[in-house]
Amino acid sequence: MQASRSLDGVDRFRVVESSEGRSSPDFYRPDRFYDEMFAADGSVRSHYAALHARVASLTPAELAERQRTLEQSFLLQGITFTVYGAENTTERIIPTDLLPRIIPSQEWSRIEAGLIQRVRALNAFLADIYGEQKILADGVVPRELVLGAPSYRREMRGLYVPHNTYVNVCGSDLIRDDKGEFAVLEDNLRVPSGVSYMLANRDAAKRTFPGTYRAAGVRPVERYPDLLLATLKSLAAEWRPNPQVVVMTPGVYNSAYYEHAYLARLMGTPLVEGRDLVVHENLVYMRTTEGLRRVDVIYRRVDDDFIDPLTFRRDSGLGVAGLFNAYRAGNVVIANAPGTGVADDKAVYAYVPEIIRYYLSEDAILPNIETFLCREPAQLSYVLANLDKLVVKAVGASGGYGMLVGPHATQAERDDFADRLKADPCNYIAQPTIQLSTAPCLVDGAIEARHVDLRPFVLAGQKIVVTPGALTRVALKRGSLVVNSSQGGGSKDTWVLAEGDHA
Amino acid sequence: MMLARVADSLYWIGRYVERAEHLCRISDVMLTATLDDSEAAATVAHIAMAAMEDREDLAPGQLPMDAVRSLLFDREDLSSVVNSLARARENARQVRDQITTEIWERLNMLYLRITHPNAEYEFSQASTAYLHGVIADLHLFKGSTDSTMSHGQGWRFLLLGVHLERAQRIARLLDVCFGDPSAPEALTEHLAQMAVLRMACALEPYLRVYTAEINPLFVLQFLLFDEDFPRSIRFSTSRIEDYLDRLAPHASVQNRAGPERLAGRLKARLEFADLDETLAPGAILSGVVAECSRIHDAIYETFIDYPLEQRLHA
Give the 3-state DSSP-derived string for A261-310, with helices as H, strands as E and coil as C. HHHHHHHCCCEECHHHEEEECCEEEEEECCEEEECCEEEECCCHHHCCCC
CB A296 within 8 A of CB A333: yes
Range scoring the smallest mean pLDDT among B58-72, B264-278, B289-303: B264-278
* A56-102 pLDDT tens trace: 999 988 999 999 888 888 888 888 776 655 456 667 788 899 999 99
A287 vs B93: CB contact, 8 Å cut-off?
no
The whole-number pLDDT of residue B186 equals 57
Smallest CA–CA distance, residue B1 to chain A, in Å, is: 6
CB A92 within 8 A of CB A81: yes
Q: Does A265 touch chain B (CB under 8 A)?
A: yes
More confident residue, B51 or B159: B159
Q: Identify the band that residue A489 occupies on the pLDDT scale cut at 50, 70 and 90.
A: confident
Average per-residue pLDDT in chain A? 87
The whole-number pLDDT of residue A12 equals 32
Range scoring the smallest mean pLDDT among A309-313, A454-458, B252-256: B252-256
The whole-number pLDDT of residue A11 equals 35
DSSP class per residue in A476-495: -STT-----GGGTEEEEEEE
A261 vs B97: CB contact, 8 Å cut-off?
yes
A1 vs B133: CB contact, 8 Å cut-off?
yes
The whole-number pLDDT of residue B68 equals 92
Secondary-structure breakdown of chain B: helix, strand, coil percentages, each rounded to the nearest 5? 75, 0, 25
A265 vs B4: CB contact, 8 Å cut-off?
no
Euclidean distance between the first and the last CA atom of chain A, given in angstroms as a whole number: 47
The continuous run of DSSP H or E covering B299 comes out as: helix B281-299
* A427-444 pLDDT tens trace: 888 998 877 899 999 988
Could you tell me what percent of chain B has a pLDDT over 90?
60
More confident residue, B247 or A19: B247
Q: Does A286 touch chain B (CB under 8 A)?
A: yes
Helix B153-178 to helix B4-33 angle (10° resolution) is: 40
Could you tell me what percent of chain A has a pLDDT over 70?
91
CB neighbours of residue B275 within 10 Å: 10
Written as one letter, the residue type at A190 is R
Average pLDDT over residues A241-262: 91
The whole-number pLDDT of residue A20 equals 44
The whole-number pLDDT of residue A394 equals 83
* A211-245 pLDDT tens trace: 999 999 999 999 999 999 999 999 998 888 899 99
A288 vs B101: CB contact, 8 Å cut-off?
no
User: What topology is assigned to A372-432 in CATH?
Assistant: Dna Ligase; domain 1 (3.30.1490)
Give the residue from chain A lying closest to B116, CA to CA: A4
More confident residue, A31 or B168: B168
Give the residue from chain B lying closest to A78, CA to CA: B108
B236 has pLDDT over 50: yes
Q: Which of A4, A261, A270 sits opposite B3 (nearest CB)?
A: A270
The whole-number pLDDT of residue A502 equals 47
B113 vs A252: CB contact, 8 Å cut-off?
no
Alpha carbon B153 to chain centroid, angstroms: 21
- Compute the distance between CA of residue A297 and CA of residue A245 in angstroms, rounded to an integer: 5
B284 has pLDDT over 60: yes
Smallest CA–CA distance, residue B228 to chain A, in Å, is: 30
Q: Identify the band that residue B225 occupies on the pLDDT scale cut at 50, 70 and 90.
A: very high
CB B222 within 8 A of CB B202: yes
Q: Which of B2, B108, B312 sits opposite A292 (nearest CB)?
A: B312
Closest by CA to A107, choosing from A32, A196, A174, is A174
> In chain A, how long is the greatest CA-to-CA distance?
75
Average pLDDT over residues A40-64: 91
Q: Which of A88, A290, A295 to mutate to test the interface with B (most CBs of B within 10 A)?
A: A290
Smallest CA–CA distance, residue B276 to chain A, in Å, is: 41
A5 has pLDDT over 80: no
Alpha carbon B193 to chain centroid, angstroms: 20
Residue extents of the structural domains in chain A: 372-432
Q: Which of B6, B116, B304 sits opposite A4 (nearest CB)?
A: B116
- Compute the distance between CA of residue B158 and CA of residue B170 in angstroms, rounded to an integer: 18
B159 has pLDDT over 70: yes
More confident residue, A283 or B213: A283
More confident residue, A306 or A22: A306
Give SS3 for B188: coil
Give SS3 for A381: helix
Residues of B in contact with A262 (CB under 8 A): 96-97
Average pLDDT over residues A174-196: 91
Global pTM value = 0.86
Q: Does A275 touch chain B (CB under 8 A)?
A: yes
The whole-number pLDDT of residue A338 equals 96
Q: Does A228 touch chain B (CB under 8 A)?
A: no
Give the residue from chain B lying closest to A272, CA to CA: B3
β partners of residue A182:
A176
Burial class (CB in 10 A: 0-12, 13-18, 19+), A401: exposed
Residue B45 half-sphere exposure toward CB, CA atoms < 13 A:
25
Average pLDDT over residues A328-338: 95
CA distances from A127 to A135, A161, A386, A406, B294 (A): 11, 8, 37, 37, 56
* B8-65 pLDDT tens trace: 999 999 999 999 999 999 999 999 988 888 888 888 998 999 888 767 777 777 888 9
CB neighbours of residue A397 within 10 Å: 12
β partners of residue A288:
A291, B3
Residues of B in contact with A80 (CB under 8 A): none
Range scoring the smallest mean pLDDT among A202-216, A306-320, B115-129, B264-278: B264-278
The secondary structure of residue B300, as a DSSP letter, is: I
Residue A59 half-sphere exposure toward CB, CA atoms < 13 A:
12
B217 has pLDDT over 70: yes
Range scoring the smallest mean pLDDT among A391-405, B224-238, B264-278: A391-405
Q: Identify the band that residue A1 occupies on the pLDDT scale cut at 50, 70 and 90.
A: very low
A1 vs B3: CB contact, 8 Å cut-off?
no
Closest by CA to B101, choosing from B160, B154, B145, B60, is B145
Burial class (CB in 10 A: 0-12, 13-18, 19+), B88: buried
Residues of A in contact with B1 (CB under 8 A): 288-290, 293
A172 has pLDDT over 70: yes
Q: Does A92 touch chain B (CB under 8 A)?
A: no
The whole-number pLDDT of residue A13 equals 34
B80 has pLDDT over 90: yes
Size of interface A-B (CB pairs under 8 A): 98
Average pLDDT over residues A360-386: 92
- Compute the distance between CA of residue A20 and CA of residue A22 in angstroms, rounded to an integer: 5
Closest by CA to B170, choosing from B233, B100, B220, is B233
- Compute the distance between CA of residue A288 and CA of residue A277 in angstroms, rounded to an integer: 10
Is the sign of the CA dihedral A258, A260, A261, A262 positive or negative? positive
Burial class (CB in 10 A: 0-12, 13-18, 19+), A495: buried
- Compute the distance between CA of residue B252 and CA of residue B250 in angstroms, rounded to an integer: 6
The whole-number pLDDT of residue A19 equals 42
Average pLDDT over residues A155-181: 92
Q: Which of A7, A78, A252 sits opposite B113 (nearest CB)?
A: A7
Give the residue from chain B lying closest to A4, CA to CA: B113
3-state secondary structure A111-166: HHHHHHHHHHHHHHHHHHHCCCCHHHHCCCCCHHHHHCCCCCCHHHCCCCCHHHCC
A278 vs B308: CB contact, 8 Å cut-off?
yes
- Compute the distance between CA of residue B77 and CA of residue B55 in angstroms, rounded to an integer: 11
Average pLDDT over residues A146-152: 90
Q: Which residues, at least 6 apart from A465, have a Cβ–Cβ distance to it below 8 Å?
A: A227, A231, A458, A459
Residues of B in contact with A289 (CB under 8 A): 1-4, 7, 153, 157, 247, 250-251, 303-304
Residues of B in contact with A6 (CB under 8 A): none
Q: Does A1 touch chain B (CB under 8 A)?
A: yes
B109 vs A292: CB contact, 8 Å cut-off?
no
Q: Does A226 touch chain B (CB under 8 A)?
A: no
B105 vs A9: CB contact, 8 Å cut-off?
yes
Range scoring the smallest mean pLDDT among A242-256, A412-426, B53-67: B53-67
Q: Which residues, at least 6 apart from A119, have a Cβ–Cβ distance to it below 8 Å?
A: A167, A170, A458, A460, A464
B278 has pLDDT over 60: no
Closest by CA to A235, choosing from A440, A417, A460, is A460
A75 vs B304: CB contact, 8 Å cut-off?
no
Smallest CA–CA distance, residue B278 to chain A, in Å, is: 38
The continuous run of DSSP H or E covering B158 comes out as: helix B153-178
A401 has pLDDT over 80: no
